[in-house]
Amino acid sequence: MTAPQPPFAPAPEAPFGPVLRANALTKIYGSAPVETHALKGVDLQIAAGESIAIMGHSGSGKTTLLHLLAGVLAPTSGTVSWRGRDLASMSDADRTKLRRSEFGFVFQSGQLLPELPALENAALPLLLAGIDRSMSMQLAREQLGRLGLAGLEQRRPGELSGGQAQRVAIARALVSDPEVIFADEPTGALDQATGWDVMRALKESAYICGAALVVVTHNPEVAHWCARTITMTDGRISNVAVQQPTSLEAQLVPPPPPAIFGGVGGAAR
Protein backbone atom coordinates (compact mmCIF):
# COMPACT_ATOMS: atom_id res chain seq x y z
CA MET A 1 0.00 0.00 0.00
CA THR A 2 1.41 3.37 -0.89
CA ALA A 3 1.06 6.18 1.54
CA PRO A 4 -1.28 9.01 0.61
CA GLN A 5 0.63 12.01 -0.63
CA PRO A 6 0.50 15.27 1.30
CA PRO A 7 -2.22 17.50 -0.17
CA PHE A 8 0.06 20.47 -0.12
CA ALA A 9 3.75 20.85 -0.48
CA PRO A 10 6.02 21.99 2.27
CA ALA A 11 6.18 25.67 3.01
CA PRO A 12 8.57 27.51 0.75
CA GLU A 13 11.84 28.60 2.26
CA ALA A 14 11.11 31.65 4.31
CA PRO A 15 12.71 34.80 2.99
CA PHE A 16 14.23 35.57 6.40
CA GLY A 17 17.68 34.70 7.67
CA PRO A 18 18.30 31.69 9.91
CA VAL A 19 16.88 31.86 13.43
CA LEU A 20 18.73 28.79 14.62
CA ARG A 21 22.28 28.11 13.54
CA ALA A 22 24.54 25.18 14.41
CA ASN A 23 28.27 25.36 13.71
CA ALA A 24 30.71 22.42 13.74
CA LEU A 25 28.73 20.56 16.40
CA THR A 26 30.29 17.52 18.03
CA LYS A 27 28.93 15.50 20.90
CA ILE A 28 30.78 12.77 22.78
CA TYR A 29 28.99 10.65 25.38
CA GLY A 30 30.93 8.89 28.12
CA SER A 31 34.65 9.17 28.63
CA ALA A 32 37.65 7.29 27.28
CA PRO A 33 38.00 4.40 26.63
CA VAL A 34 34.22 3.92 26.16
CA GLU A 35 33.45 7.17 24.34
CA THR A 36 30.59 7.37 21.88
CA HIS A 37 30.98 10.02 19.20
CA ALA A 38 27.33 10.82 18.54
CA LEU A 39 27.98 13.89 16.37
CA LYS A 40 31.19 14.50 14.43
CA GLY A 41 30.90 18.04 13.10
CA VAL A 42 27.44 19.14 11.98
CA ASP A 43 26.57 22.50 10.42
CA LEU A 44 22.92 23.45 10.01
CA GLN A 45 20.83 26.58 9.61
CA ILE A 46 17.11 26.80 10.18
CA ALA A 47 15.21 29.76 8.79
CA ALA A 48 12.02 31.16 10.29
CA GLY A 49 9.01 29.19 9.11
CA GLU A 50 10.92 26.51 7.22
CA SER A 51 10.50 22.80 7.74
CA ILE A 52 13.30 20.27 8.07
CA ALA A 53 13.23 16.52 8.46
CA ILE A 54 16.23 14.88 10.10
CA MET A 55 16.42 11.26 8.98
CA GLY A 56 18.80 8.43 9.72
CA HIS A 57 19.11 4.99 11.22
CA SER A 58 19.10 4.33 14.97
CA GLY A 59 22.30 5.67 16.48
CA SER A 60 23.01 8.02 13.58
CA GLY A 61 22.84 11.02 15.93
CA LYS A 62 19.52 12.54 14.86
CA THR A 63 17.94 12.78 18.32
CA THR A 64 21.22 14.10 19.77
CA LEU A 65 21.20 16.81 17.09
CA LEU A 66 17.62 17.73 18.02
CA HIS A 67 18.52 17.95 21.72
CA LEU A 68 21.53 20.17 20.93
CA LEU A 69 19.47 22.46 18.69
CA ALA A 70 16.83 22.79 21.40
CA GLY A 71 19.39 23.59 24.10
CA VAL A 72 18.57 20.46 26.08
CA LEU A 73 22.14 19.16 25.82
CA ALA A 74 25.36 21.13 25.45
CA PRO A 75 27.69 20.25 22.56
CA THR A 76 31.18 18.91 23.29
CA SER A 77 32.46 21.47 20.80
CA GLY A 78 30.86 23.83 18.32
CA THR A 79 28.05 26.29 18.90
CA VAL A 80 24.29 26.57 18.60
CA SER A 81 22.98 30.10 18.35
CA TRP A 82 19.43 31.37 18.60
CA ARG A 83 18.89 34.66 16.79
CA GLY A 84 22.62 35.28 16.98
CA ARG A 85 22.97 34.40 20.65
CA ASP A 86 25.12 31.41 21.62
CA LEU A 87 23.03 29.03 23.73
CA ALA A 88 26.14 28.15 25.75
CA SER A 89 26.41 31.76 26.89
CA MET A 90 22.91 31.66 28.36
CA SER A 91 22.19 30.56 31.93
CA ASP A 92 20.35 27.29 32.45
CA ALA A 93 17.28 29.27 33.56
CA ASP A 94 17.36 31.33 30.36
CA ARG A 95 17.67 28.22 28.19
CA THR A 96 14.74 26.67 30.07
CA LYS A 97 12.72 29.82 29.47
CA LEU A 98 13.71 29.80 25.80
CA ARG A 99 12.47 26.22 25.42
CA ARG A 100 9.25 27.13 27.17
CA SER A 101 8.43 30.28 25.24
CA GLU A 102 10.10 30.08 21.83
CA PHE A 103 10.17 26.33 21.19
CA GLY A 104 7.41 23.75 21.11
CA PHE A 105 7.94 20.01 21.49
CA VAL A 106 6.05 16.98 20.22
CA PHE A 107 7.30 13.55 21.24
CA GLN A 108 6.40 10.03 20.22
CA SER A 109 4.54 9.33 23.46
CA GLY A 110 4.38 10.09 27.16
CA GLN A 111 3.82 13.80 26.95
CA LEU A 112 0.32 14.20 28.35
CA LEU A 113 -0.18 14.02 32.09
CA PRO A 114 -2.80 11.35 32.81
CA GLU A 115 -4.46 13.33 35.62
CA LEU A 116 -5.19 16.40 33.52
CA PRO A 117 -8.03 16.76 31.00
CA ALA A 118 -7.04 17.61 27.41
CA LEU A 119 -7.68 21.32 27.89
CA GLU A 120 -5.40 21.62 30.92
CA ASN A 121 -2.73 19.48 29.25
CA ALA A 122 -2.74 21.85 26.30
CA ALA A 123 -2.68 24.91 28.55
CA LEU A 124 0.16 23.61 30.72
CA PRO A 125 3.08 25.48 29.04
CA LEU A 126 1.22 28.78 29.48
CA LEU A 127 0.40 28.06 33.12
CA LEU A 128 4.02 27.04 33.70
CA ALA A 129 5.08 30.34 32.16
CA GLY A 130 2.91 32.17 34.67
CA ILE A 131 0.15 33.23 32.25
CA ASP A 132 -3.21 33.93 33.85
CA ARG A 133 -5.43 30.85 34.06
CA SER A 134 -8.45 32.07 32.12
CA MET A 135 -6.24 33.42 29.31
CA SER A 136 -4.30 30.11 29.24
CA MET A 137 -7.49 28.08 29.03
CA GLN A 138 -8.93 30.31 26.32
CA LEU A 139 -5.84 30.02 24.13
CA ALA A 140 -5.68 26.25 24.71
CA ARG A 141 -9.37 25.89 23.84
CA GLU A 142 -8.85 27.80 20.59
CA GLN A 143 -5.83 25.72 19.71
CA LEU A 144 -7.70 22.46 20.41
CA GLY A 145 -10.57 23.71 18.27
CA ARG A 146 -8.22 24.41 15.37
CA LEU A 147 -6.94 20.87 15.60
CA GLY A 148 -10.45 19.41 15.41
CA LEU A 149 -10.69 18.56 19.09
CA ALA A 150 -13.61 20.80 20.05
CA GLY A 151 -15.86 18.94 22.48
CA LEU A 152 -13.06 16.74 23.79
CA GLU A 153 -11.58 19.36 26.14
CA GLN A 154 -12.57 17.59 29.33
CA ARG A 155 -11.40 14.12 28.27
CA ARG A 156 -8.41 12.60 30.03
CA PRO A 157 -5.54 11.22 27.91
CA GLY A 158 -6.75 7.69 28.72
CA GLU A 159 -10.08 8.51 27.08
CA LEU A 160 -8.53 9.73 23.81
CA SER A 161 -7.39 7.72 20.79
CA GLY A 162 -3.69 7.73 19.89
CA GLY A 163 -4.27 10.25 17.11
CA GLN A 164 -6.39 12.51 19.32
CA ALA A 165 -3.79 12.41 22.09
CA GLN A 166 -1.09 13.37 19.60
CA ARG A 167 -3.22 16.28 18.40
CA VAL A 168 -3.55 17.46 22.01
CA ALA A 169 0.25 17.26 22.18
CA ILE A 170 0.48 19.38 19.02
CA ALA A 171 -1.96 21.88 20.54
CA ARG A 172 0.27 22.02 23.60
CA ALA A 173 3.40 22.55 21.49
CA LEU A 174 1.69 25.41 19.64
CA VAL A 175 -0.16 27.07 22.48
CA SER A 176 2.65 29.43 23.43
CA ASP A 177 3.06 30.46 19.79
CA PRO A 178 6.59 29.10 19.40
CA GLU A 179 9.05 30.02 16.65
CA VAL A 180 10.36 26.49 16.26
CA ILE A 181 8.55 23.20 16.80
CA PHE A 182 10.76 20.19 17.50
CA ALA A 183 9.08 16.86 16.86
CA ASP A 184 10.83 13.60 17.78
CA GLU A 185 9.21 10.68 15.90
CA PRO A 186 5.76 12.32 16.26
CA THR A 187 3.98 9.49 14.43
CA GLY A 188 6.15 6.65 15.72
CA ALA A 189 3.41 5.15 17.86
CA LEU A 190 0.59 5.54 15.32
CA ASP A 191 -0.71 3.53 12.39
CA GLN A 192 -0.08 4.83 8.89
CA ALA A 193 -3.39 6.59 8.30
CA THR A 194 -3.49 8.22 11.76
CA GLY A 195 0.18 9.17 11.38
CA TRP A 196 -0.64 10.91 8.10
CA ASP A 197 -3.48 12.85 9.76
CA VAL A 198 -1.24 13.87 12.63
CA MET A 199 1.57 15.02 10.30
CA ARG A 200 -0.91 17.04 8.30
CA ALA A 201 -2.21 18.67 11.48
CA LEU A 202 1.34 19.37 12.63
CA LYS A 203 2.46 20.83 9.31
CA GLU A 204 -0.67 22.91 8.89
CA SER A 205 -0.53 24.28 12.42
CA ALA A 206 3.16 25.14 12.15
CA TYR A 207 2.50 26.84 8.83
CA ILE A 208 -0.43 28.82 10.19
CA CYS A 209 1.48 30.17 13.16
CA GLY A 210 4.61 30.71 11.08
CA ALA A 211 6.79 28.39 13.14
CA ALA A 212 9.76 26.47 11.80
CA LEU A 213 9.34 22.70 12.08
CA VAL A 214 12.18 20.29 12.85
CA VAL A 215 11.08 16.66 12.64
CA VAL A 216 13.27 13.72 13.62
CA THR A 217 12.04 10.58 11.90
CA HIS A 218 13.16 7.37 10.28
CA ASN A 219 10.05 7.35 8.11
CA PRO A 220 10.43 8.81 4.55
CA GLU A 221 6.66 9.47 4.38
CA VAL A 222 6.90 11.73 7.39
CA ALA A 223 9.98 13.45 5.94
CA HIS A 224 7.98 14.06 2.75
CA TRP A 225 6.02 16.76 4.56
CA CYS A 226 9.15 18.88 5.03
CA ALA A 227 10.83 21.26 2.59
CA ARG A 228 14.29 19.98 3.38
CA THR A 229 15.42 16.51 4.42
CA ILE A 230 18.83 15.98 5.87
CA THR A 231 20.09 12.45 6.34
CA MET A 232 22.44 11.63 9.18
CA THR A 233 24.93 8.79 8.93
CA ASP A 234 27.30 7.95 11.74
CA GLY A 235 27.18 11.42 13.32
CA ARG A 236 27.50 13.43 10.09
CA ILE A 237 25.10 14.89 7.54
CA SER A 238 25.43 12.58 4.58
CA ASN A 239 22.74 13.98 2.31
CA VAL A 240 20.51 17.05 1.91
CA ALA A 241 17.40 16.91 -0.28
CA VAL A 242 15.17 19.91 -1.06
CA GLN A 243 11.56 19.47 -2.16
CA GLN A 244 9.97 21.92 -4.55
CA PRO A 245 6.68 23.41 -3.44
CA THR A 246 3.68 22.37 -5.52
CA SER A 247 0.65 24.29 -6.63
CA LEU A 248 -1.33 22.67 -3.83
CA GLU A 249 0.50 24.97 -1.49
CA ALA A 250 -2.05 27.59 -2.50
CA GLN A 251 -4.84 25.55 -0.87
CA LEU A 252 -3.56 26.39 2.55
CA VAL A 253 -5.47 29.03 4.40
CA PRO A 254 -3.40 32.11 5.05
CA PRO A 255 -2.15 32.61 8.59
CA PRO A 256 -4.68 34.37 10.86
CA PRO A 257 -3.85 37.84 12.13
CA PRO A 258 -1.31 37.58 14.93
CA ALA A 259 -3.67 39.07 17.55
CA ILE A 260 -4.59 35.62 18.89
CA PHE A 261 -1.00 34.72 19.55
CA GLY A 262 0.32 38.18 20.23
CA GLY A 263 -0.01 38.42 23.99
CA VAL A 264 1.70 35.20 24.97
CA GLY A 265 5.04 33.77 23.98
CA GLY A 266 5.24 36.03 21.01
CA ALA A 267 5.16 39.17 23.07
CA ALA A 268 8.94 39.26 23.19
CA ARG A 269 9.25 39.11 19.44
Contacting positions for another protein (CB under 8 A): 67, 70, 72-74, 93, 96-101, 103-105, 107, 109-116, 120, 124-125, 127-128, 130, 132-133, 173
- 55 or 124, CB closer to another protein? 124
CB of 78 closer than 8 Å to CB of 41: yes
Give whichever of 3 and 135 is closer to another protein, judged by the CB atom. 135
- Is residue 199 classed as helix, strand or coil in its secondary structure? helix
Cα within 13 Å of Cα(2), Cβ side: 3
Q: Closest approach of Cβ 42 to another protein, in Å?
A: 18
CB nearer to another protein: give 114 or 257: 114
The vertex-63 CA angle with 238 and 224, nearest 5°, equals 60
User: Closest approach of Cβ 118 to another protein, in Å?
Assistant: 13
Closest to another protein by CB, 127 vs 208, is 127
C-alpha span between 132 and 83 (Å, rounded)? 28
Nearest approach, Cβ of 132 to another protein (angstroms)? 8
Closest CA to 51 of 246, 243, 267, 250: 243
Give the three-state DSSP class for 10: coil
Q: Is 50 helix (H, G, I), strand (E, B) or coil?
A: coil
Minimum Å gap between C-beta 250 and another protein is 33
Closest CB 221 distance from another protein, rounded Å: 24
Nearest residue (CB) to another protein, 64 versus 229: 64
Least distance to another protein, CB of residue 136, Å: 9
**CA dihedral for 194, 158, 188, 49, sign (positive or negative):** positive
- Minimal distance in Å, beta carbon 15 to another protein? 28
Spatial separation of the C-alpha atoms in residues 164 and 153, rounded to whole Å = 11
Helix 133-146 to helix 162-174 angle, to the nearest 10 degrees? Answer: 130
Shortest Cβ 187–another protein spacing (Å): 16
Q: How far apart are the first and last CA of the chain?
A: 45
- Choice between 11 and 181, CB closer to another protein: 181
Give the nearer residue to another protein in terms of CB position, either 103 or 196.
103
- Which C-beta is closer to another protein: that of 63 or that of 164? 63
The pair phi, psi for residue 127, each rounded to 5°, is -60, -40
Dist CA 190 CA 239 (whole Å): 27
Q: How many CB atoms sit inside 10 A of residue 173's CB? A: 27
